[in-house]
Chain A
Amino acid sequence: MSGDLVYGTELAITGLLIGVMYSMVALGFVLIFKASAVFNFAQGAMTLFGALTVVGLSPLVGLPLALAAALVAMAVLAVAVERWVLRPLIGRSALTVFMATVGVAYALEGLAQLIWGNQPRGLKLDIPQAPLQLGGVYVSPPDLIGAAIAGVCVMLLVLFFQRTKLGLGLRAMADDPIAAQAMGVRVGRMWAVAWMLAGAVAIVAGVLWGSRIGVHFGMTQITLKALPILIIGGVDSIPGAIVAGLLVGAGEALGEGFLGPFVGGGVQEIVAYLGALLILTFRHQGLLGEKTIDRI
C-alpha cells in the first residue's frame, strides 16, 4: 500500500513537472487569444521552430546568442503574421482565422525542418541528470529547474501585463477591442506584441522540452495537448492555463501508471481530451475562465 503511495506520489510529481511544460504552451495560446480572440494552432510549430533555431545555432555561436537569435526570429515571424495573415483577415469569421493559423503551422513546420533538417537533435543545458531524493521520493533535477524557469516566466508575464504600458494596451484589447481602439490603442501593434510574447514563451517551452526529450517533429504534437488544456482552464485565463496544464500532466502520469496496464497503455494520449469533453459538457467556460453571455 505504502509502495503504491510512493509510486503514486512520484508519478504525480513527474506529471506535475511535465504539466509545467504543457502550461507554458497553453500560456502562449492564452496570450494570443486574449489579445486577438484567435485560436493559434501554430503555437506548437512555433515551439518547434524556436527550439530548432536554438539547437541549430548554439554550437556555432553559443547558447545565449542562439537564444537571442531565436527571439529575433520570433519577432520577425510575429510582425509577418500580423501584417500578411491577420490584417488581411480582419472582420472574417473566427473559423477562417483559425484555419489561417493552421496554414501558418504547416508552413512553419515545413520551413523549420527545411532549414534545420528532420533529424531529432539533442539539447544539453548542463543540468545534472541524477535524480534527487526528497523525503523518499525521487525527483529529476531538469524537471525541477524547468518548473522554476517556467514559474519565473509566468511572474515576468504577470508583471508585464500589470506594470507596463504595452501590458495595459493588451489588457484593454482583451477587455473591449473597439473601446481600446477608440482610446488610441494600436490594434495591429498589439497583435504583433502578443505574437512576440507567445513566440518568446514558445522558445522557453521548446528549449525546456527539448532538453528532456530532444528536439524533433513530435514537439508540434504539444499543440494538440495544449488545446484541450486551454479549454479545461478557460481560454482567456492565464492562471487557468497553468492549473489545467498541471492537472493534465498529473492526470496523464497517474492514468498511465495505474490504468495503463489494464487497457494496453496509451492513456496519456486521451486524458486531456476526456477532461476537455467533461468541461465542455458541464462548464464550458473552463475552470477559471470568464463566463460569457451571448448577446442575440
Chain B
Amino acid sequence: MSEITVPSPPARRTAPAPTRGSVSAAARAFGLAALLLLPLAGDEYWIKSVALPTLIFGLAALGLNLVVGVAGQISMGQAAFMAVGAFIGAIAYGRYGLPLPFAILAAGFASAAIGIVIGLPSRSIRGLYLMVSTLAAQFIVLWLLQRVPWFGAASHGILSIPKLALGPVAFNTPHARYLLTLAVVVPLTLFAANLVRSRIGRAWIGIREREIAAEVLGVPAFRYKLMAFAAAGFYAGVAGALVTFAWTGAATVEEFRLELSVKLLGMIIIGGLGSVLGSYLGAAFIVLVPIAISIALHAAAGLLGWSAVNAGTLANAEHLVFGLLIIAFLIAEPKGLAPLLLRGLDAVRNIIRPSFRRAGAGPQGEKE
C-alpha cells in the first residue's frame, strides 16, 4: 500500500526547506503554543469535554499510528493497552505512592511490555490474522484486569485514585490538569515526530512498504515490528494513565472496551495514516462529531417542535455518522485531514504573502 507519504529525508533537505524556514520557526512555535494554551481561557466544559480528550486520545492514536500508519501492521487492541496504563498508573500512584511522573512512566513501560507480547504473533502472521490476534488481546487483557485481584478493579471494574499532587503542587482544577496533560503530551509528540524520521522510523516505513525487500536490505523486520508494538503500547499506556489522572479520576475497565480501539483506528484514518499531526486532528474530529451532532439534533428538535432528543437517538445518530465518515474518508480522502489542513494553510499563506508560493513543492505536490 502506498497511500501514505512520509516525506523521505533527502527530499526534505533539498527543495522546500529554505522557504519553510523563512516563515520563522519561532513564529510557528509561538502560534502552536498559543493554540495549545487557548483552552485555558475557556470554561470547564470546554476543557473537560473537548481539549483533554482530544489531547489524550490523540496521544493514544499517535501510538497506534506508529504501528499501523508507519510500520504497516494492524492493531485492534490499542484500548486494552490504555487500560493497562490506566490501572498500572493508578496502582503505582495510589497503592505504592510513586511520584506522579514515575507513575506515568511505569504505566507507559508496563503497556510497552504488554505491547511486545501482543506483537509476538507478528513474527509469522500479518494482515487480518494479526488483526484477530490483537482483537484477542483486547478481550483477554480486559478480562484479566477485571478478574485478577491484584489490579484491584473488583467486580465493578473501577479503581479510584487519591488526590492528585506532585510535591506541593496539587492538580485539583481542570486547568491544572490540562497543563499536566500538555506537559506529558508535547514532549512525547515531538519525540514521535523525530522517531518517524530516524533510522527506526525509516525501517518501519520499509517494512510497511515491502517487508521482504526491507529484510533483504538488512532490516531485522521482526525486531522492528516488536519495537513498533512497544512504542504503540508505551504511548497508549501513558494516555491511559492520563485518562485516569487528568480526566476521569479513576481507572475503569468500561472506558477501554473494543469500541475505543475501533474509534482510535477511525481517528488515524480520518486524521491521516502515518501522520503525527493527523493523529491529533483525527482525535479532535472524533471528539467534536458527537458534540456537533448533539447540537444539530437539539437545534432541529427545537425548530420542528419535537420533544427532547433522547440519549439513545443521539448515540445512534453518532454511530451512523461515524460509520459514514470512515467510509467517506477511506474512499475520498485516504490521506486524511492532515494533508488537507496543510494544503489549506498553504492556500491561506499564499493569499497573505504571495511571495511564499513554492514551486509545486507542497506536501500534496509530490505525486506518487
B324 touches A103 (CB 8 A): yes
A85 close to B (CB within 8 Å): yes
Measured between beta carbons, the chain B residues less than 8 angstroms from A111 are 316, 320
Within 8 A of B (CB), among A116-142: 117-118
Name which residue of chain B comes closest to A98, CB basis: B128
Q: A273 to B313: give the CA distance in the assembly, Å.
A: 32
A92 close to B (CB within 8 Å): yes
Q: Mark B232-247, 1 if CB is under 8 A from A, else 0.
A: 0000000000000000
Q: A232 to B317: give the CA distance in the assembly, Å.
A: 35
Name which residue of chain B comes closest to A275, CB basis: B136
B316 touches A118 (CB 8 A): yes
Within 8 A of A (CB), among B115-134: 121, 124-125, 127-129, 131-133
Stretch from A157-165, A175-183, A238-246, A276-284 that touches the partner: A276-284
Measured between beta carbons, the chain B residues less than 8 angstroms from A270 are 139-140, 143
B317 touches A280 (CB 8 A): no
B331 close to A (CB within 8 Å): yes
B139, B140, B266: residue with the most chain A Cβ atoms closer than 10 Å: B139
A96 touches B135 (CB 8 A): no
A266 touches B143 (CB 8 A): yes
Name which residue of chain A comes closest to B135, CB basis: A227
Q: How large is the interface on B (under 10, 10 to 19, 20 to 34, 35 or more residues)?
A: 35 or more
Q: Provided the pairs A99-B330, A224-B258 are in contact, do residues A276 and B319 lie with their beta carbons within 8 angstroms?
A: no
B125, B320, B321, B323: residue with the most chain A Cβ atoms closer than 10 Å: B323
Name which residue of chain A comes closest to B1, CB basis: A93
B136 touches A274 (CB 8 A): yes
What count of chain A residues pass the 8 Å CB interface test?
Answer: 46
Measured between beta carbons, the chain A residues less than 8 angstroms from B3 are 92-93, 96
Q: Provided the pairs A228-B132, A269-B139 are in contact, do residues A89 and B312 lie with their beta carbons within 8 angstroms?
A: no
B331 touches A89 (CB 8 A): yes
Chain B interface helix/strand/loop/mixed: helix
Name which residue of chain B comes closest to A231, CB basis: B132
Measured between beta carbons, the chain A residues less than 8 angstroms from B1 are 92-93, 95-96
Measured between beta carbons, the chain B residues less than 8 angstroms from A174 are none
Q: Provided the pairs A39-B128, A110-B320, A118-B316 are in contact, do residues A273 and B326 lie with their beta carbons within 8 angstroms?
A: no
* B-binding residues in A (CB < 8 A): 39, 84-85, 88-89, 92-96, 98-100, 102-111, 113-114, 117-118, 224, 227-228, 230-231, 235, 263-264, 266, 269-270, 273-274, 276-277, 280-281, 284, 296
- A and B contact pairs by CB, cutoff 8 A, 9 listed: A39-B131, A92-B3, A94-B128, A104-B323, A107-B320, A107-B324, A273-B140, A280-B132, A280-B133
Known: A107-B319, A273-B136, A284-B124. 20 other contacts (CB 8 A): A39-B131, A85-B327, A89-B330, A93-B1, A95-B74, A98-B128, A99-B326, A102-B326, A103-B326, A106-B322, A109-B319, A109-B323, A110-B321, A114-B316, A227-B132, A227-B135, A231-B129, A270-B139, A273-B139, A273-B140
